[in-house]
Amino acid sequence: MFDLTGQVAIVTGASSGLGERFARVLHDAGAHVVAVARRVDRLEALAAEHERIVPHAADVTDDVALKRLVDDTMDRFGRIDILVNNAGMGTSERALDEDLDSFRYTLEVNLVAVFNLARLVARPMLETGKGSIVNIASIYGLGSSWPIPNGSYTASKGGVVQLTRELACQWAKGGVRVNAIAPGFFVSEATAEMVANPKSIAYVEKGTPMRRFGQAHELDGALMYLASDASTFMTGQTMTVDGGWTAH
List pLDDT tens digits, range 72-128.
Answer: 999 999 999 999 999 999 887 788 888 899 999 999 999 999 999 999 999 999 999
Beta strands in 58-183 (DSSP E): 82-85, 131-136, 176-183
**Gap between the Cα atoms of 86 and 95, Å rounded:** 25
- Whether 48 is covered by a domain: the verdict is yes
Q: Point out the catalytic residue in the list 140, 153, 203, 225.
A: 153
Q: Determine the pLDDT at residue 149.
A: 74
Q: Determine the pLDDT at residue 153.
A: 94
Whether residue 244 has pLDDT greater than 90: yes
Q: What angle do CA 197, 247, 85 make, to 5 degrees?
A: 70
- Whether 150 is covered by a domain: the verdict is yes
Range of the domain at 135: 8-241
Q: What does pLDDT average to over the chain? A: 96
**Gap between the Cα atoms of 211 and 163, Å rounded:** 31
Q: How many CB atoms lie within 10 A of CB 170?
A: 13
Q: Determine the pLDDT at residue 81.
A: 99
- Whether 201 is covered by a domain: the verdict is yes
Residues 85 and 69: beta-carbon distance below 8 Å = no
Q: In terms of pTM, does the model score above 0.85? A: yes
Using DSSP, state whether 64 is helix, strand or coil: helix
Q: Determine the pLDDT at residue 69.
A: 99
- The CATH number for 191's domain is 3.40.50.720
pLDDT band at 33 (very low <50, low <70, confident <90, very high): very high
- Whether 18 is covered by a domain: the verdict is yes
Q: How many CB atoms lie within 10 A of CB 140?
A: 22
Instruction: Output the CA–CA distances (angstroms, integers) from residue 195 to 16, 61, 96, 203, in the order listed.
Output: 16, 29, 27, 11
| H or E stretch covering 76 | helix 63-77
- Whether 2 is covered by a domain: the verdict is no
- Whether 247 is covered by a domain: the verdict is no
- Whether 55 is covered by a domain: the verdict is yes
- Whether 224 is covered by a domain: the verdict is yes
**Residue 153 appears among annotated catalytic residues:** yes
Using DSSP, state whether 122 is helix, strand or coil: helix
Number of structural domains found in the chain: 1
